[in-house]
A and B are shown apart, each in its own frame.
Chain A
Amino acid sequence: MFKRKVLSQVVAAAAVSSFLVGCGSSSSSGSAASTTTDIEGSAFASYVSGAKVMAMAGVNEIAGPVTTTANGGFKLAIPNEHLKSDLVFKATGGTYTDEATGEQAASGELSVMAGAGTLKAGSSIHATPSSTIISKLMAEHGLSKDAAEKAFNDAFGYLPDTSVAPVDATKASDAEDAKKLAGVRAAAFSQLLKNLGLDKGDHSALLAALAEDLADGTADGKKDGQAVNVDGTAGAMALKADIANKFATALYDFANNADMNKSGLNTGQVGLIKFNTKAVSENYTFELTPPKMTQVGQAVYTLKVTNNADSSVFANKPVSMTPMMYMAAGHKHSTPNTGCTDTNDQGVATCTAYYLMASAMGNGDVMGNWELKFSVGMGDDKESVHFFPKVMMAMGDTARGTLKGDSNDQIAMGDMAMSRNYNIFNNGLAGMGDMRSAEFFISAQESMMSFPALVDGVELNTGTAYAMTPNNIIVEVSTDNTAWVKATTNDDGLWMAKPLAGLVDGEEGKLYVKLSVDGNEKTTDGKTAEVDNVAAEFTVTPGAGSMNMSM
């Protein structure tokens, strides 16, 4: 009896030991003795529960189906010989919580392509709306992997990392940012459905339509010239020509909606939102032509507006422009701009922004997203569209200088007071030899949202303790910091100085700009004017800089 008792204790202890020895190591059927390799992943629209997932090599089902868990998770044992082939993981059915509405939705089909040889023991793969479009482009429209990814990236501005498991963007989590971003991007497709007026149940139909649209390489609502329809539950709806911009706007809308987006990623942290040049509102089409290179400093856009009903031009009408920077750090601010001219006879307006900061760092990391909102009409008839330009750091000639107010020329910033900034933008040089002219735009900062042109007689910070009405503005420009040329203005914030002598074509030179308002010289450091702080310095290279104008 005693021996049996001891023996049973030994066996029990050994069993527990052997169980616990396994603790902490991952189980894998991909060992040398196994003929299959376990691949884990998820189906994610948000988390798709109850979907059937199978792996396919071409038209052959090689593993599954298995049913996804509440978090969309699945595990499939893939026969090792198939790991050398392109595989498609396809999830059909199941339900998820639609991010844009918060309602339960039935999932149709999600898929993801795994390239030959990319999966091994421990790999994971996740089927998302983004991966589904790419997968469909390859499997149903015959594009190569490179072509499919290029078409997707050109339209939406990113490529999904299919090894990253997305997390629900409507819930706070401590997941890493890549997982949150994947979740936000998935949510943007739900937002797109909502923005298009489609039903949440049309998710799969929309993804199929987007893939069909992209099959010819361009997201323009057409495939080979033929309209692409979303064959949804409520009938067919044609994709608009600005579908790529509609997605960008949906991403912006979801990221910017604090009630829905609980991911912790703000509008400045969702990667660079793709800049598309066409946007369609209910009644108008807006086509934006940017400058050759958009960088910190002046950016002149042409905007053509046409009526959707008959493609006629929206002639001789006012257009408004509102720039806004959504910083990755969570702040937002506007930038100096002169808005838009009225549209001309051809429906074309000229709109000018003066960017204060770039969208991305020198190494490409995103600092934030710029939004340009254009509106036409008034009141209930007002229609607006959004564009998301990428702004580079200024290269070459100095694009912007800054002079600051002293202790008597301040503005409020939160509970601080700070020197008012006078941002001086270099619009470029014109002319030749010693008869050159230089144009500058000067704005006076009122707040983080207001940077109006500095104009004689136009009050700044009206109704606040920092109100100031400039009545005597003097701008002087020099090429040697000694001989000064007084600039002239048409009271529009633009100042022209000429003639400027001493600059040589192809050689780096300097422009110095002084600003006096009502007898007070503005300085580079906001302190009392001294010899070395009264002029903003610009490096220019006549005839070589991108900002040289032909006037």
Chain B
Amino acid sequence: MRFIKLLCIALTLTVLTGCLDDLKSDSKDLRTDTSTGGENSAPALDFMELTTESETVQLSTELMSNDAVVLYYTMWCPICDSHMSHLRNNIIDNYRNVRFLIVDYVSGTVAQSRNSQVSNGYASLTVLADTDQSLIEQFNATMGTTVVIDDQNKILMNEDYKNGARLAEVLEAL
């Protein structure tokens, strides 16, 4: 009888624990978001994308010959233009060993993306045509998002461009 009593209590506790697991006040967020950078972020996953000139760019390849890769997400709006203009005139030339890539996630086709690139005056930059929006999803990005990945695949930054100061600070510390 003592055995039955203990068994019932044990069963009760087991069920109770199972039910309330998500409600414990000390529960930790067990998500492993690899997209947003920071000290505890997982390494950036490799990706391969077509440029607007139909060349293939692969993250791992770029990181073999550069200190870092910078992604800037554009929708070819005037706000994006102000960021990209600032990026080109004040940042890019200062970091010769960093690969700067513009991500167009809005145009839908490589040809349309190239058209937008030229119309907006950025023919000289490398633009990735993220036609399936996989790069938007991979880095949980949106308009103006700027991502820095170092040569150890670590995401050093994933945030809005704002005035470029934070980007310069991150690149300076490479």
Contacts and interface: CB of A to CB of B under 8 A. Distances in A.
B8 A327 contact: no
A394 B115 contact: yes
Contact of B118 (A357, A365, A421, A537): A537
A211 B11 CA distance: 58
Contacts of B78: 333, 356-357, 421, 445, 448
Nearest to A420: B85
Instruction: Tell which of B85, B121, B123, B131 has the most Cβ of chain A within 10 Å.
Output: B121
Interface stretch (A281-289, A303-311, A399-407): A399-407
B77 A418 contact: no
Interface in B1-39: 1-2, 4-5, 8-9, 11-12, 15-16, 19
Contacts of B82: 413-414, 416, 418, 448
A419 B79 contact: no
B121 A361 contact: no
Given A329-B143, A400-B119, A17 B77 contact: no
A357 B75 contact: yes
Nearest to A13: B8
Given A3-B1, A394-B119, A402-B120, A333 B109 contact: no
Contact of A536 (B9, B88, B121): B121
Interface in A471-485: none
Contacts of A376: none
Contacts of A327: 77, 79, 143
Interface residues of B, number: 45
Given A356-B78, A413-B82, A416-B86, A9 B119 contact: no
A23 interface: yes
A367 B75 contact: yes
Interface string B59-103: 000000000000000011111011001101100000000000000
Contacts of B79: 327, 329, 331, 333, 448
Contacts of A394: 115, 119
Contact of B121 (A17, A325, A524): A524
A93 B5 CA distance: 54
Contacts of B122: 525
Contacts of B153: none
A331 B78 CA distance: 10
B43 interface: no
Contacts of B162: 414
Interface string A388-428: 00000111001111111001000001111011010000000
A308 B101 CA distance: 56
B107 interface: yes
A42 B4 CA distance: 47
Contacts, number: 138
A398 B142 contact: no
Contacts of A413: 82, 86
Interface in B42-64: none
Contacts of A367: 75, 77, 106
Contact of A361 (B75, B115, B118): B75
19 contacts: A6-B1, A10-B5, A17-B11, A20-B15, A21-B15, A296-B119, A325-B77, A333-B77, A357-B75, A357-B76, A367-B75, A398-B115, A401-B119, A416-B164, A421-B78, A421-B85, A525-B121, A526-B89, A539-B115
Interface of A: 3, 6, 9-10, 13-14, 16-17, 20-21, 23-24, 296, 325, 327-329, 331, 333, 356-358, 361-363, 365, 367-368, 393-395, 398-404, 407, 413-416, 418-419, 421, 445, 448, 524-527, 533, 536-537, 539
Interface of B: 1-2, 4-5, 8-9, 11-12, 15-16, 19, 75-79, 81-82, 85-86, 88-89, 105-109, 112, 115-116, 118-124, 131, 133, 142-144, 162-164
State the 10 A-B residue pairs at the shortest beta-carbon distance, nearest first: A362-B108, A13-B8, A402-B121, A23-B19, A361-B106, A20-B15, A413-B82, A329-B143, A418-B85, A357-B77
